[in-house]
Chain A
């Protein structure tokens, strides 16, 4: 293990450049960063590919001299806006890590209510500082997105490997439904389970439907997706408007469609 770590990695005989990477978290459960530590089998190889210079959850110390910044979480307070802008200034490449960073994640469900009510419901009259939930790209330019709640470790490793060796980053254009069919699963609509597989961006290998849990759209819309058609198919299967809205608004990727549906407009 230690011997392998001492040898420089090569690709086609050329030494691979080790980018300096840093990890940051805004408002989140920190689960996406944990997923990176959860790569026990390949963690050591992964760490060999990059130079981790900042990772508060895992290490003391570190520097602000980094090229790639992975930012987990959504923005919900002014100090996070400032932190995010500083990270943007320091980083060559800013990567939004996970649903909260990409779309606001479950945090953005709070935006359904007036902020004053939200504060009072949880903290009573105690003063508390919070703002409506925003995704990273509502504040700064985001170069890359890694989708999912949680992120899929294999996908992170592939993307980081591509970054390190200078490959283009490609995402699947098709929806989760394609992966689910390819895995030979039964259609969850037939067993009465709501599912956003037909409109959600693939890349997770139908993680939830493989366990007979319908998709909640955590990866956001696929490049080509027909939400209106899916809503009518779900209605034909007897799913209530409530259930469809619950699924569409859960992680924020389809929040605009959910808003339209709630106000009675067909998206």
Chain B
């Protein structure tokens, strides 16, 4: 039986940003198992100081290239909360629709382009273009639909242009929305085929008891604002987010770490499904159950399946939103903004988990203090504890280096980390 192992992955591939995995096992005992984050910090919280409120969503969207829409919407909500504004029903629906399409494009990107190559035994999606043209074509089609809808509602799929404090600069074309509704209905078979594909993949058999944190849904599966909840039973107000995150620094990471009831916690699709399973669309719920994903599931690799389940949910929910939006004529596009001094907090569920933005303004609406807590930074500690447990479990089983290295890489990828985001 093999009992020694030395794994060193410098700049893990097929994840956003820069992180390293190190595992050393000697005589069957784990000497080291480290998830290192080496990304260069960008200091968004400092560079926003002194900026007027209208800069915040424009600049903060640039924290992330994948979830720029989520950051923009969190930033807008934090400003609106600080100024005591409530978005209109129409604005809320359009924002949620935009959010859903970002969730869909991000999850599809992760499932097909970043995660699937591991299960299909290739280094990237590129060889799949020749070997599995139908699979790549389906992924490209679903991603294109989601991105085209982001263009339609948000003005641009990446770093949106129409989304502003108070509402939108302009509203989408109603005929286009109706056209997209039909395309969404037509996308369901592609999602069913995606589920069938993932059914053929063998998810690693590994679980570690974990606390999961997300927004707490009341009537709807939650994405924008509301109370915060953990599977260990903690409930907090949105404005009390710091009591939920408890950030601290560690030497192995340029990103901060978080904890709540235990040494670490997890956020993301799996956390949302674990906390809000009953609020999923019935079809999404059925697919989830079919995969054995029911609350509370502690296998981190199941995050892939939770993303798939959410793809189904957001497609059905987007159809509902478009129906509701088209049922009445367009109302006012944008509210007037009156800046005032105060603090505003926003919690928004972005593809990789719960995101917080908090700004403190002076009376002219200039930022005095800024705080952004990113999903991936909340997950780093949990990835570390999973990695240690994973190394111990499989070392005890005498697994080969190459296999353990792949499992470790797949573990980090399952969290779909957005590392440059976490070191904003």
Contact = CB atoms under 8 A, between A and B. Distances in A.
Contact of B156 (A40, A56, A119, A211): A211
Contact of A56 (B13, B50, B65, B125): B13
A12 interface: no
Interface stretch (B73-81, B94-102, B135-143): B135-143
Contacts of B254: 128
Contacts of A55: 124
Interface string B214-236: 00000000000000000000000
A77 B62 CA distance: 20
A47 B126 contact: yes
Nearest to B159: A150
A199 B156 CA distance: 22
Contacts of B41: 76, 122-123, 128, 130
A63 to B, nearest CB: 12
Nearest to B63: A29
Contacts of A211: 155-156, 161-162, 169-170
B51 A246 contact: yes
Interface residues of A, number: 62
B52 A246 contact: yes
A30 interface: yes
Contacts of A161: none
Contacts of B140: 40, 43-44
B144 interface: yes
B40 to A, nearest CB: 4
Given A27-B42, A76-B40, A118-B43, A246 B68 contact: no
A194 B15 CA distance: 37
Interface in B308-357: none
Contact of B46 (A5, A106, A121, A243): A121
B130 A2 contact: yes
Given A37-B113, A212-B169, A31 B65 contact: yes
Nearest to B38: A79
B14 A58 contact: yes
Nearest to B372: A122
B129 interface: yes
A126 interface: yes
Contacts of B188: none
Interface string B39-81: 0111101111111101100110011111010000000000000
A29 B421 contact: yes
Given A2-B133, A149-B62, A37 B109 contact: yes
A76 B167 CA distance: 35
B144 A2 contact: no
Interface stretch (A109-117, A173-181, A220-228): A109-117
B169 A60 contact: no
Contacts of B17: 30
B123 interface: yes
Nearest to B169: A212
Given A113-B46, A211-B161, A41 B144 contact: yes
Contacts, number: 169
Given A40-B147, A117-B46, A212 B159 contact: no
A56 B17 CA distance: 9
A261 to B, nearest CB: 15
Interface residues of B, number: 60
B1 interface: no
B158 interface: yes
Nearest to B109: A37
A76 B41 CA distance: 8
B133 A110 contact: no
Given A31-B158, A38-B158, A242-B52, A250 B58 contact: yes
B124 A59 contact: yes
A130 B40 contact: yes
Interface string B97-125: 00000000000010001100100000111
A113 B50 CA distance: 11
A26 interface: yes
A105 B159 CA distance: 13
B420 interface: yes
Nearest to A118: B46
B65 A58 contact: no
Contact of A59 (B13, B59, B143): B13
A1 B129 contact: yes
A250 B42 contact: no
Contacts of B54: 246
A257 interface: no
B69 to A, nearest CB: 11
B161 A29 contact: no
Contacts of A250: 55, 58-59
Contacts of A110: 42-43, 46-47
Contacts of B155: 208, 210-211, 213
B157 interface: yes
A38 B249 CA distance: 35
B162 to A, nearest CB: 5
A5 B129 contact: yes
Given A40-B143, A40-B147, A29 B68 contact: yes
Given A57-B16, A109-B59, A150-B159, 10 more contacts: A34-B158, A58-B114, A76-B40, A106-B62, A110-B43, A128-B254, A207-B156, A211-B170, A242-B52, A246-B51
Interface of B: 11, 13-17, 40-43, 45-52, 54-55, 58-59, 62-66, 68, 109, 113-114, 117, 123-126, 129-130, 133, 136-137, 140-141, 143-144, 147, 155-159, 161-162, 164, 169-170, 249, 254, 420-421
Q: Which 7 A-B pairs have the closest CB atoms?
A: A31-B65, A59-B124, A211-B155, A40-B144, A60-B123, A109-B47, A211-B161
21 contacts: A2-B130, A26-B40, A29-B64, A29-B420, A30-B17, A31-B64, A34-B65, A37-B109, A38-B157, A40-B141, A58-B114, A59-B123, A59-B125, A106-B47, A107-B47, A109-B59, A122-B46, A149-B62, A208-B161, A212-B170, A213-B169
Interface of A: 1-2, 5, 25-35, 37-38, 40-41, 43-44, 47, 52, 55-61, 76-77, 80, 105-107, 109-110, 112-113, 117-119, 121-124, 126, 128, 130, 149-150, 207-208, 210-213, 216, 242-243, 246, 250
